[in-house]
Structure 1
Amino acid sequence: MQIYFVRHGQTQYNLEQRFQGGRVDSPLLTSGIRGAQQAGAYLADVHFARVYSSPQKRALDTAAYITAANRWHPQIKLAPNLREMDFGDWDGQLEKDVQPQAQLEIVVHHPDQYRPELAGGGESYPQFVARITQAVHAAVAEVGVDSTRPLLIVSHGLVTTMSIKALLGVSIADIRKPLVINGQELPTVGYGIVDNDSLTVVETLDNRHFEIKTWNETGYLKPAKS
């Protein structure tokens, strides 16, 4: 079966470079709504077996725009384990303002060394990765690996990127680095994360082994007309 992953549309916190984890939400910007609608138009003829979304509003709104454009108008099932990574008191703060800055350097460059108790609290990377990969495995099991129809997961930058990397066997130490497949570095928006409103497609035949079929596709996203 194939799993379609879509990251939510752009928010004000994205623009301001604030931590936007599991405890906070920033509404979709006009550009984020437009991107979600364009993603929906691109996926309009895909007959999904099921649609799962993070319960956070930015992801759920994105999922709603996508399903509204889909010819089958599928229902959205909330999956609490698809919430974004919990950064504790750092959530909502500007990245440049969080303390201690040494932990900020670690959180983006040395995830295996990150200690949330020395930062804003929240989740460690192992805790986060275990939670989100469990959510993906559960979704696949619920639909069934023999399904000829794909499932759709709408969530967040870290959830999307790190669940896929972990399912591919990437270690926590390397989970923030860009993916390299067949000697080619796959494009990201920064720190190894996929773009807003992007589509990544992964395939599995047994819910244990996973293969990327499409990575960080944004070709359907068009700028607003001036």
Structure 2
Amino acid sequence: MAAAGRLELVVVRHGVTQWNRERRYQGQRDIPLLLPDALAGLDTLRGELEEQTFDAVHCSDLTRCRQTLAHVIEGRERAWPTHFDARLRELDFGDYEGRTYDELKSQPFYRAWIDSEGRQPPPGGESTADLGRRLDAWFGDVLGACTALGQRRVLVVTHGGVIRELRRRFEGIGFWQGDVVQAEGRRFTFSMNEEGCWQCSSSSAVPAPASATP
């Protein structure tokens, strides 16, 4: 396990779906994985995580994340407490869900949403500030369990927009720079500073890139 005063969040995106292949906005639609096509990525992710243990698991309550979690921790389902949490759902894309960029690109409201980097909510949906507020509440609970229960390594299965928002927050990168592909993610390491506050000290890719060979 990770040492006291240190927290690791292993945050991964669900496997590929039919709507991913069609480049449709999924948002909070409950779209399942595209099987068997999703298995290659899920198998790679399972291999990456199979030697790791966790103090807790947090997962979006949507089907594609539940299926991803079931595959990557198969046989270890009862090893750690698991929390299915609606706060880890994808950004609500409102009227844009089920539609593609090509279908929307000529609409002024859509262009304004793109240009605002999500600060403006899509019609009937959430802004990035809305997403940030529910992630703040969730992360506060994670830190509370870290302090109260000694949880030091946590697995999180969620969505691309959530990971992008976490990367923007913890890595300080631009909104459009934080994409991760399906069945991949980030490992965030947090350390407690002298004032007793948690700070992100590192971020790396999951699965880890293969070492370069001579």
**TM value normalised by structure 2:** 0.80
Offset, 1:75: 4.3
2:203 matches 1:213 = yes
62-71 vs 97-106, which moves further:
97-106
Corresponding residue number in structure 2 for 1:194: 180
Equivalent AA in structure 2 for residue 77 of structure 1: H
Contact 2:119 2:128 in 1 (8 A): no
Equivalent AA in structure 2 for residue 210 of structure 1: C
Instruction: Supply the distance in 2 between the matched residues of 1:88 and 1:162 (Cα, whole angstroms).
Output: 18
Instruction: Supply the distance in 2 between the matched residues of 1:154 and 1:213 (Cα, whole angstroms).
Output: 16
Structure 2 residue corresponding to 1:2, chosen from 5, 8, 19: 8
130-139 vs 4-13, which moves further:
130-139
2:23 matches 1:17 = yes
2:36 matches 1:30 = yes
Runs of 5+ consecutive residues of structure 1 not aligned to the other structure: 179-191, 221-226
Corresponding residue number in structure 2 for 1:177: 176
Structure 2 residue corresponding to 1:154, chosen from 154, 157, 169: 157
**TM value normalised by structure 1:** 0.76
**What does residue range 92-111 of structure 1 map to in structure 2 within 5 Å?**
92-98=98-104, 101-111=107-117
Tell me the matched-pair count. Answer: 200
Instruction: Supply the distance in 2 between the matched residues of 1:121 and 1:60 (Cα, whole angstroms).
Output: 26
Instruction: Supply the distance in 2 between the matched residues of 1:66 and 1:144 (Cα, whole angstroms).
Output: 27
SS of residue in 2 equivalent to 1:200? strand
Corresponding residue number in structure 1 for 2:143: 140
SS of residue in 1 equivalent to 2:37? helix
Identity %: 23
Structure 1 residue corresponding to 2:127, chosen from 104, 124, 128: 124
Corresponding residue number in structure 2 for 1:184: none
Offset, 1:128: 1.0
Contact 1:18 1:93 in 2 (8 A): yes
Corresponding residue number in structure 2 for 1:189: none
- Relative to structure 1, the CA distance from residue 216 to residue 48 in structure 2 (aligned partners, 3 Å threshold; closer, same or farther) is closer
- Relative to structure 1, the CA distance from residue 3 to residue 193 in structure 2 (aligned partners, 3 Å threshold; closer, same or farther) is same
Corresponding residue number in structure 2 for 1:181: none
1:7-29 deviation digits (Å, cap 9, x = unpaired): 10011101101011013424333
SS of residue in 1 equivalent to 2:31? coil
**What does residue range 27-66 of structure 1 map to in structure 2 within 5 Å?**
27-66=33-72
Instruction: Supply the distance in 2 between the matched residues of 1:108 and 1:99 (Cα, whole angstroms).
Output: 9
Offset, 1:85: 0.4
Contact 2:17 2:38 in 1 (8 A): yes
Runs ≥4 in structure 1, deviation > 6 angstroms? none
63-72 vs 120-129, which moves further:
63-72
Runs of 5+ consecutive residues of structure 2 not aligned to the other structure: 1-6
1:16-69 deviation digits (Å, cap 9, x = unpaired): 010110134243332323322321222112110001000001011101111115
